[in-house]
Structure 1
Amino acid sequence: MLTDLDNLNLPDDYIYVTKNRKKFKKASGGIVVIYRKSLEKELNFYNTESQFVLWFKISKSILSLNSDVIFGCVYVPPENSKYSTIEAFEELENELNILTNTENCYVALVGDFNSKTGSLPDYIIPDESVVSMFDLDCDADILEYLYDYENLTRNKITLQRVSQCTCRPNKYGHRLLELCRKNNLYIANSRVGSDKDIGEKTCNDSSVVDYLIISSMLFPLIVYFEIADFIPLYSDCHSFINFRLQATFSKSDSIVINNRNDKTFVRWKSEQKSEYVDRIHNDPEGILTTVMNKLDELSVNNDIVLDISKNFKDAAAETFGKVNKHKHFYKHENSKPWFNRKCSMSRKKFHKARKRYSFLKNAENRSKMRQASKEHKITLNKSLRAADELRNISKKDTKALWKILNNLNDSKKKDNNDDISLKALYDHFKILNETVETENDFEQDLEFDTLSDDVELFLNSPVTEDEIKKVVSNLKNGKASVHRIACVTTRPFPDTPRIAD
């Protein structure tokens, strides 16, 4: 959890807003929202009393909607824990009603609700007889409220949810479903993206307690939705929800991005090579003429080379055009003092495993990613505890501090004393340079008395004309391999071979 004294080490073009617990001494829970500076004018954060939700408004201009979107990042403590309270959903609904009553807007909620809803419906289909009995069909606003669920079917979103969670719905789950039905909000899990018709588990690989909940008109804006694989580094037991909303940005934003491109590269196109040559010959700036006049002056050779290069580059730029190479430079602050080399190496190992799994998703890579994540988390915690312990000792027990420092110096001296003696080096290289005489097993006389009849028959048979032609045809540059010549010369030649052909 972040406290008011903590500071996130983020790239310069990012900002964060937090809501921390105030009543508990131990750091736990809390909410943080991180966003780009370029979106600062499009987001408006609300300062509310509830510690269970962080509210902000997204401008309708970037979402191409007729109304803004009130977004709530939610964390409700687990049921029956010492942090839980039955008032969590009441506070959430009260603040939601206050914000939506003052402004006509859509709503989106995301986070850990610790609510098990199973596949129970989050909507109510009104009874036609009741609607007619109380003349509710005479009011357009009431009809729009009652039949809001039909927006899902119009956008080809299924009404029936599914879930891999086999747990019974808990009290928080019923409260969440009641909140959805009263405010025309719908759970996106199992309805969109890669989680459609699946209802992937989000906690401990056993239950669904993390949700994206939105108004019916926001479903068309969801361009990506997935329940990511569990990574111990990011959470103790939760799989995070990864989703994207379709948004539009002004031209000024793209101009800022393009200004970061400090190099341009020309791409060669073979089909335009004749046009490229013509542009060089045209010499619009008279570069080649100037070069010819300077050839007699030895002191201007460098200028001549630069002029010729400029002519080639200009012709290429006009012929093939330019492409921008995007480069993003992020200025990072120095790492925390406790973030040592072991932390850096474990982080690299984790990112390598994560990228490998994202490239090829299988059980083996998933297991390696989880293992690397756990090891990195253990390394970070161990280094942080050591730094905290050293900091506390420096304030309370200077004698123990000096003992630790002396032990570090002794270990360094011990490492430096582990030198190899000169005699050991001499003996090592002496052994390496010793020559060992080995018998040459290849220089052996053949025992012709032991040759088989087939071998004797082959060696004593005359060389045929076809064999000679075959050997000659394989010769290169008048040379032949030794084994081919030997094969031919050890056998008798025919009386009149005819190889002139």
Structure 2
Amino acid sequence: MKFDKSYFNFNHDLYLCLAYDPPAQSIYTKNLSTDILQLLEKDILHFKSKGDVLLCGDFNARCGNLLDFVSSDSTDHLPISNDNYPVDFNLNVRNSRDTTVDTRGKELIELCLGNQIRLLNGRTLGDSLGKYTCYNHMGTSVVDYLLASDSLMQNILYFNVSTFNPTLSDCHCKLSWKILSHHFLDIIPQPNSKVMGSKFKWQENSPQAFQSALQDKDSKNLISHFDTSSDINELAVKLNEILLTASKKCLRRPSPPKKSSRKIYTNKKFF
């Protein structure tokens, strides 16, 4: 899914991918002709050339506390100056309550290192400890991740692993996040919109009276011009006009509040 930079005022277009990689030992994985992480890496390379990348899903990978960036990276080790070498910036150390590392986890970390993609779990406001994301009969683990382009990290305001809810999933927790955007909606006032100023009293006979009012000549004329293919704002104005016209013909308005008859003497002496 593409989020246009001109609409959201991002520095680059944003491409979101929702992913699922079955367990490494599952029959489905064994029958695959291509590794899913390899397919993801090809897509990452393709879309990173167009903008920033954000991936979220169940990767069935346990990464423990492995670093997903090259610590103290620089170009000093290169024999010649190379401006095309992408230097990794030092990030906050990623925490995880799941310290187990499996083969899939190492592969996911290699994907991050090779493409400057970073894990948000365990280092972002809202999940500084790296909460468990999966609860099943085998125990607890962290296998669901949010991954982002290195250049997108500063725009991630919040990341949260919700408390496990068996109503929403068999064993996984919901992941949610917030991204900084500078999008503004230009609200154009509608010159033809009418606001129902006065209230109407709804009495015991009002339903029958209102239905009858909708059947009269004026109401039928308005209803006949109610075209559902029109703009939504225009439809709202027309619907309001139909209801207001019928209401004025059959419903009573509440009586205005009575003014107090008590006289107020402003110059009355109090001594």
| TM-score of the two chains, using structure 2 as the length reference | 0.63
User: 2:16 aligned with 1:71, yes or no?
Assistant: yes
> Counterparts of 1:200 and 1:193 in 2: how far apart (Å)?
12
1:100 aligns to what? 48
1:226 to 2:172 alignment:
no
Q: Are residue 247 (structure 1) and residue 195 (structure 2) matched? A: no
1:209 shift after superposition: 0.3
The match for 1:111 is: 57
Q: Deviations over 1:113-148 (max 9, x none)?
A: 1100000000113665x734422xx33332xx123x
Aligned to 2:39: 91
Q: Is the 8 A contact 1:166 1:206 kept in 2?
A: no
- CA 1:127–1:189 in structure 2 vs 1: closer, same or farther (change >3 Å)? closer
**Which of the two has greater helix per residue?**
1
Q: Which residue of 2 aligns with 1:183?
A: 115
Does residue 140 of structure 1 match 2:80? no
1:60 aligns with 2:5: yes
Amino acid at match of 1:109: L
State the one-letter code of the partner of 1:230. F
Higher relative contact order (CA 8 A, sep 6+): 2
Q: Deviation of residue 185 (structure 1)?
A: 0.9
State whether structure 2 residue 32 is matched by structure 1 residue 82.
Answer: no
Partner of 2:67: 121
Which residue pairs with 1:390 in the alignment?
Answer: none
Measured on the aligned residues, the alpha-carbon RMSD in Å equals: 3.3
Call closer, same or farther: CA 1:96–1:170 in 2, change over 3 Å: same
How many residue pairs get aligned? The number is 197
After superposition, the Cα gap between the structure-2 partners of 1:90 and 1:263, relative to the gap in structure 1 and judged at 3 Å, is farther
Q: Distance between the aligned counterparts of 1:261 and 1:215, measured in 2?
A: 48
Distance (whole Å) between structure 1 residues aligned to residue 132 and residue 63 of structure 2:
12
C-alpha separation in 2, matches of 1:251 and 1:62: 10
Displacement of 1:194 in angstroms is 1.8
Q: What's the offset of the Cα at 1:261?
A: 11
Map 1:99-498 onto structure 2 (within 5 A): 99-101=47-49, 103=50, 105-125=51-71, 131-135=76-80, 138-142=81-85, 145-147=86-88, 149-150=89-90, 152=91, 158=92, 160-167=93-100, 169-196=101-128, 198-204=129-135, 206-252=140-186, 254=187, 309=256
Unaligned 5+ runs, structure 2: 199-251, 260-271
Tell me: CA distance 1:238–1:261, structure 2 relative to 1, closer, same or farther (3 Å).
farther
Q: Which runs of 5+ in 1 are unaligned?
A: 1-55, 153-157, 266-304, 313-501
Following the alignment from structure 2 to structure 1, what is the Cα–Cα distance between the partners of residues 125 and 197?
38
- Residue 486 of structure 1 is matched in structure 2 by none
Equivalent position of 2:241 in the other structure: none
In structure 2, the residue matched to 1:361 is: none
Describe the superposition over 1:162-197 as per-residue Cα deviations: whole angstroms up to 9, x where unpaired: 111143x1111111100100111110011112211x
State, as a whole percentage, how many aligned pairs show the same letter.
Answer: 29
**Aligned letter for 1:215?**
S
Aligned residues of 1:228 and 1:241 also touching (Cα < 8 A): yes
Cα deviation, residue 223, structure 1: 2.6
Distance in 1 between residues matched to 2:52 and 2:175, nearest whole Å? 20
Preserved CA contact (<8 Å) 2:10 2:181: no
1:80 offset after TM fit, Å?
0.2
- Aligned 8 A contact 2:65 2:99 in 1: no
- What is the one-letter code of the residue matched to 2:159? F
| Structure 1 ranges of 4+ moved more than 6 A | 259-265
Counterparts of 1:76 and 1:260, CA distance in 2: 52
Deviations 1:338-384 (A, max 9, x none): xxxxxxxxxxxxxxxxxxxxxxxxxxxxxxxxxxxxxxxxxxxxxxx
Distance 1:74 1:260 in 2: 45
1:83 to 1:255, Cα distance in 2 relative to 1, 3 A: farther
Q: TM-score, normalised to structure 1's length? A: 0.36
Q: What secondary structure sits across from 1:195 in the alignment?
A: coil
Q: Distance in 1 between matches of 2:69 and 2:193?
A: 48
Q: CA deviation at 1:94?
A: 1.2
Q: Tell me the amino acid that sits aligned with residue 201 of structure 1.
A: Y
